[in-house]
Amino acid sequence: MRSLRDALGQFATGVAVVTAATPRGDRLGVTVNSFTSVSLDPPLVLWCLSRRAPSAPAFAEAGRFAVNVLAAGQEHLSRRFATPLPDKFAGVETRLAPGGVPVLTGTVAHFACRAVVTYDGGDHLIFVGEIEHFRHEEGEPLVFHSGNYRAFSAPDREMALCETGGP
C-alpha cells in the first residue's frame, strides 16, 4: 500500500480545505488534495473523503460545502484542518458565502457548492457539487508533491520545495 501511495504522490496537486456547516450549525473542515473540476455546464466539482473520517457523516448531511484553494504560505491551514481538533476554526478568519457555507479568507479561490450526489468510491466517498458562487484572487497556490508542500518561486516560477510533511 505504501508503494502505491508513493507512486500516486508523483502527481502534483493543489491543496484545498473543504468546509461546511451542518443543519445544526456545526462547522466542518477537512484538508483534501482530491479536488477537481467535472463540468462547466452545469458547473460541477468533486472531492473525496475517507469513509473513516470522523466528519464523513456530517459532510454527507450538510447539503452544501465550499472548496477553499489554499495559497502558497498557508501550510498552517492545511495542517490545522488535517488534524483532529475540537474546533478547527478557532483563530481562523472566515466569512459566510451565499448559502451560509463558511469560507476561509486569504485563499486563492473558493467554490461554494450545493451537494448534488455522493458516490461510493471504495474506501472513500466522492462528493459532487454544483457551484453556486465562486471567487478567485491573484496569487500562487499551495502545491503538494511526493509528500512535501511546494511553491512556485519567482521570477522563473520553478517549483521549489517548501518543507516536508503535509495532508
Q: Please state, in angstroms and as integers, the Cα–Cα distance from residue 84 to each residue in 20, 64, 75, 87, 143, following that order.
A: 16, 21, 16, 9, 22
Q: Are 148 and 162 in contact (CB under 8 A)?
A: yes
Q: How many domains, in total, are found in the chain?
A: 1
Residue 34 CB neighbours (<10 A): 17
d(CA 118, CA 88): 24
* DSSP string over 32-57: ES--EEEEETTEEEEEEEETTSTTHH
Q: What is the pLDDT of residue 164?
A: 42
* pLDDT tens, residue by residue, 1-18: 888 888 877 777 889 999
Domain of 122 in residue numbering reads as 2-164
Q: Are 16 and 71 in contact (CB under 8 A)?
A: no
d(CA 109, CA 100): 17
| Region class of 11: left (phi > 0), else alpha (psi between -120 and 50), else beta | beta
Q: What is the pLDDT of residue 4?
A: 86
For the entire predicted model, the pTM comes to 0.88
CATH at residue 123: 2.30.110.10
* Of the candidates 125, 126, 96, 90, the residue with the CA atom closest to the CA atom of residue 110: 96
What does the pLDDT profile of the chain (167 residues) look like in tens digits? Answer: 888 888 877 777 889 999 999 999 999 999 998 999 999 999 999 999 999 999 999 999 999 999 999 999 999 999 999 999 999 999 999 999 988 999 999 999 999 999 999 999 999 999 999 999 999 999 999 998 888 888 665 555 555 544 445 55
d(CA 156, CA 85): 38
